Each structure stands twice: as structure tokens, then as C-alpha cells.
A = this chain, B = another copy of it.
Amino acid sequence: MNFSLDTIPFGIFSVKNRRKKVATIIGNQVVDLAELAHLGYFDGLKIPKRVFTNDYLNDFISLGKAKTNAVRAELQKLLAQPNQLPESVFHEVTNVQLHLPVKIGDYTDFYSSEQHATNVGMMFRDPDKALLPNWKHLPVAYHGRASSIFVSGTNFHRPKGQLCPDESQPPFFSPTKRLDIELEMATVIGKANSIGQAIDVDQAEEYIFGFQLFNDWSARDIQKWEYVPLGPFLAKNFFSSVSPWVIPIEALAPFQVTGEKQTPEVLPYLQEKNRHFFDVELEVILQTASGNEVKLCHSNFKNLYWTVAQQIAHHTVNGCNLNVGDLLASGTISGKEPTSFGSLLELTWGGKKPILLPDGAERRFLEDFDTIIIRGYAEKEGVRVDFGEVRNTVLPAV
């Protein structure tokens, strides 16, 4: 990883036994913003210094875009000449601990990739009617668990639960046999709306602070037995993971790509004047305990049918209130090519087409001690924005 001056993300770090602070990163150098503030570098911006000496970014984000973008612009100016800054503000990334950057209030998971929804529908329902009737009319979503979202580097134990592969037999209790990943992006909400006040789709991006890589770990066998009629629960809430750096939406301005017209036409509250996605390359890598490394897929944040602005407009059209720090995940981002499918469920087509590893081993779903790494970056005409990675290892069931 080599974070550029075009990125300037925000995160939370600590050095051993010291308290958490707000940071950015340039190259592989974590930059201590509390120290910069203490030294007076942000004095012109009239920002309370306490927002930088903080366990989470929420207070910083709550300053609003005018302030946070001013900090980002100041950092771009300062970090263009890093030699003029005191050494005390820099830390090798390998010498610090990176923490969950945002205190997440509510977490919502969307289901916004047409190819993903089609793949799942083909496997589990009628292949001729893979998309459900509501899918092209509204961005389907459900509420997820915020407490079990952890930062990259946190490992977790294979979850246990009820499985019932043959419903003519009673269910049994077991560690999941179908542990999967979902390649997603998470949107960090940067501004609250009041209860009862819908957010206009054309103003929705003002409510976005930025984005992170997101892995929506899933236990497919637990999911199959539990999810009708109220949706996924224990199949998802055992663990989710995010990358440590939040990339401000402003960094992605050069990477907007126009979205195709939607057919059928959506209802007016979902119609956008400037419909766009973000061209961010995404890849998923599997590392096994025996040293195999294989790229599972290569997708892109633009492989969605519903924009983040539409997700926000839909989420609030009934008056639901979003808060600073809420997380909206995109749902699995699968492109049209089979090599761009964002889950093992799709890549192995429900376990029927195993992935061959370099040493001859196979994977249908994940084994203990497998590590999954999601990486992301945007690059165009000399501008490069890095998302870093989210990396976690599966430990055996407790």
C-alpha cells in the first residue's frame, strides 16, 4: 500500500499503550492529526482540537464537510512537503495499531448488484424469474448488526448454528460448513436527517462522508435454514469487517461514471438528475495456511444497479432518520463476468464448481486459517486513490 496525496483518508490509530487519535496516511506513513493540531497547524481552521484526540471519527465528521474538507486540503498542502513537518507527526504504519474508525450507529446492508441478485435468484429460486418483482423498483435492503463489525486485522472464529440441509430431517447443531465472503463497499453517513424528513435523491451525496471496503462474511447453510420469512440474522451477525481508512467522497470526484438509464422507469423519488457510480477497482484474494494465494475475483464499485444516492433516498423516504456514523453497505458487488462475482457462493455456483488452488487443493467455501483480503483503488490520468485493504483470517470454531 502506498497512499497518495490524492487519497488523504481518515482513520483512527494508536501507538502502544497510548490513546487513540485521528490520523491520515501518506505512502506508508501514518500522520498524527492530533499532534498536528496540537502544534497549531490547523489553527486557521477554527476546529476544536478535541475532535482529533478521540476514539472515533464521528466528532470530526460531525464538523461538516466545510471543515473536514478544509482539513483535507490543508493536509494535501502540508504533505506535499513532508520534510517541513516535524518527525513527531509520522509513524510507520507497521508500528501502530489501526482501529475501527467510525462508531457505527445503525448498519444497513443493501442488495444493489443486479448480477448478484440474479445469480442468487437463479440458484435458490426460479432461474427464469431470478429477479423478484420488487427488485428493479426499489433498492432492497435489510438492517444488519453494528456491534459485530470489526476493523481489518481482526480474526474471528467460525460460527456455529443450526443447519438443516434436508428439511425432511430435523436440524442439527454444527460449525458452518459453507462459510463465505461478500465483496462490498460501505458508505459512511456524514450528516443526519431528522425523523420524518426524507432526503432528496439529488442532495443525497451531501449526506455521505466517505467509503470503506467491506466484507459481509456469511454462513450460507445457517442462512438457508433461518432466513424465511424475516431475512438473514445469525448467518451474518457473527462478524463483518471494514478497512481502516475512510476515503472521503470528494476524493472520488474524478472517478464518477455515468449510470445507465434504468428500465423500468423508477418512481420520481428515485430519479436522479446526475446519475453516477464510482469507478473503483476491487479485488479479492485468498491466502491459505499452506501458502496458496489466489485471486478470487476482480470487480468494480460501478457494478451496481442502484446508486448510493438512491439507497439514501429510499432509506429515508418513509422518514427514517440516519445519523453520523451509520453504515450503508452496497451488497455483494458482482459484475457480469463470472470472474467478477463477489462471493464464493457465486464463484463456485453453490459449491458445484470448486476453485482450484495452485497446490491442487480446492475450495468450495472457506476452510479454517484461510485469509481473505479485499483491496480497492481508483486510477485515471495520473490520479490514484487507494482504499487499502480489509484482511481477516478464519479461526476454527470455539
Contacts and interface: CB of A to CB of B under 8 A. Distances in A.
Interface residues of A, number: 65
Number of copies: 2
A173 B269 contact: yes
A159 B239 CA distance: 32
B226 A138 contact: yes
A234 B267 CA distance: 16
A238 B106 contact: no
Given A239-B319, A267-B172, A319-B157, A134 B225 contact: yes
B146 A105 contact: yes
A132 interface: yes
A106 B147 CA distance: 7
Interface in A232-256: 232-234, 237-239
B321 A148 contact: yes
Nearest to A120: B229
A144 to B, nearest CB: 6
29 contacts: A106-B147, A132-B229, A137-B164, A137-B171, A140-B226, A140-B230, A141-B233, A142-B142, A142-B231, A143-B145, A159-B318, A159-B319, A160-B317, A160-B318, A160-B319, A161-B318, A172-B267, A195-B239, A198-B398, A219-B318, A230-B231, A230-B232, A231-B231, A231-B232, A234-B318, A234-B320, A237-B318, A238-B318, A319-B398
